[in-house]
Chains A and B, each alone.
Chain A
Amino acid sequence: MQQLVRAGARAWLRPRGCRGLSALTEEAVQSAEKPEPLANAGPQAPVLRRCELPVPLHRRPVQAWVESLRGYEQERVGLTELHPDVFSTAPRLDILHQVAIWQKNFKRISYAKTKTRAEVRGGGRKPWQQKGSGRARHGSIRSPIWRGGGVAHGPRGPTSYYYMLPMKVRVQGLKVALTVKLAQDDLHIVDSLELPTTDPQYLMELARYRRWGDSVLFVDLEHEDMPQNVVAATSGLKTFNLIPAIGLPLHSG
């Protein structure tokens, strides 16, 4: 599965996991100010982006190509630098596993419920006297050994499986996921999510030409100003989905 990210979107995942209020606004402004290359011009200036957040001195930023969705051939429109603490952390598969399992289970509420012998209708009277009838002794017709009786240790009521991993573990899981995607050539950074047509077929042909794979996740920065072409094209396709950056999942689809 591949992810296309508007250039500059990822730098606001703070590397040290601390809360930042200004990084989000600064990033949104920054990507709006970047000059958009003209669609019809010939050789254009490459789109270059440096990393805004301070990089530790002993590490260098990771570099990635910026692509464009406007034409089939427009790969390598520019170059961007990505923060190493987010895009080249250690590939901690155990943290990835923990976060993936958490994502699967914390929302789960199981509605399985069985009736106990107290809840099954009937069964208040002793069926026959204790001694003398020759049969086994019983106290009610709804005990668990009877047919039609209650269940002794069955599932009881809606059960929730909610738990939370520490915030830093979840943040590290996202960083590791991005690192792994970038390292395995599944992450493509795009200058803008504008398409020339509304046709879903165009997206499929583009994905096939550039060898992205069967499914693509488009991630836009904000939910409000998504280009109409992308919204229309992805709503027609099942394996191509569009989400705002706030909803970035660790594992989806």
Chain B
Amino acid sequence: MAGSLSWVAGRRLWGLVPLACRSFFLGVPRLFHVRVTLPPPKVIDRWNQKRAMFGVYDNIGILGNFEKHPKELIKGPVWLRGWKGNELQRCIRKKRMVGNRMFIDDLHNLNKRISFLYKRFNRHGKHR
């Protein structure tokens, strides 16, 4: 079907050929912009300080006489250091640990989220 229409050049077909029969070689509307040149290559330094020293001190417990645990190396929010939980557990832990110093709006949203997730997990779905 597309081969039989190849004798008519380019743009004259845009209006004539319905979209279902259109092949890519008729051209795409310029709204769907496709770049024809490559972007400038992203320069990544594979040996910067963070990448070169990745993983150092992760075995500080087994090599260092168990004075420190690797979970003490993790940098992040207080309620998430060396701990993992699903969303409801994370919300409850955040409220217990830092709830007294959160902004009022954020605390209100957190409470709403806790009550929504509690009802969701314990009253709906297959696992309750």
Taking Cβ atoms with an 8 Å cutoff, the residues of A that contact B are 13, 19, 21, 24, 103-104, 106-107, 109, 116, 118-119, 156-164, 167, 170-171, 174, 215, 238-239, 241, 243, 245-253
A2 CB, min distance to chain B CBs, angstroms: 14
A239 CB, min distance to chain B CBs, angstroms: 5
Whether B63 lies near A248 (C-beta < 8 A) is yes
Whether B54 lies near A252 (C-beta < 8 A) is yes
Whether A109 lies near B55 (C-beta < 8 A) is no
| Known contacts A158-B77, A248-B63: A253-B83 contact under CB 8 Å | no
Whether B87 lies near A103 (C-beta < 8 A) is no
Within B75-105, which residues are at the interface with A (CB < 8 Å)?
Answer: 76-77, 80-85, 87, 90-91, 94
| Least CB separation from B112: chain A residue | A118
Whether B57 lies near A246 (C-beta < 8 A) is yes
Interface contact tally, CB-CB below 8 A: 105
CB-CB under 8 A from B87, the residues of chain A are 156-157
One of A156, A170, A239, A241 near B59 (C-beta < 8 A):
A170
| Known contacts A118-B112, A160-B83, A162-B83: A249-B63 contact under CB 8 Å | no
CB-CB under 8 A from B81, the residues of chain A are 160
| Known contacts A106-B70, A159-B90, A241-B53: A215-B47 contact under CB 8 Å | yes
Q: How far is the CA of A164 from the CA of B52 in the complex (A)?
A: 23
One of A158, A163, A238, A249 near B58 (C-beta < 8 A):
A249
A contact face: mostly helix, strand, loop, or mixed: loop
Q: How far is the CA of A247 from the CA of B70 in the complex (A)?
A: 11
Whether A252 lies near B57 (C-beta < 8 A) is no
| Least CB separation from B116: chain A residue | A118
Q: How far is the CA of A145 from the CA of B59 in the complex (A)?
A: 48
One of B58, B94, B113 near A250 (C-beta < 8 A):
B58
B37 within 8 A of A: no
Whether B54 lies near A171 (C-beta < 8 A) is no
| Least CB separation from B106: chain A residue | A119
Whether B80 lies near A247 (C-beta < 8 A) is no
Whether A158 lies near B80 (C-beta < 8 A) is yes
CB-CB under 8 A from A170, the residues of chain B are 59, 62
Whether B76 lies near A109 (C-beta < 8 A) is yes
19 A-B pairs with C-beta separation under 8 A = A103-B58, A106-B71, A107-B74, A109-B77, A118-B116, A157-B94, A158-B77, A160-B84, A162-B71, A167-B61, A174-B62, A243-B53, A245-B63, A252-B52, A252-B53, A253-B47, A253-B52, A253-B53, A253-B54
Q: How far is the CA of A167 from the CA of B59 in the complex (A)?
A: 10
Q: How far is the CA of A109 from the CA of B64 in the complex (A)?
A: 25
CB-CB under 8 A from A157, the residues of chain B are 87, 90-91, 94
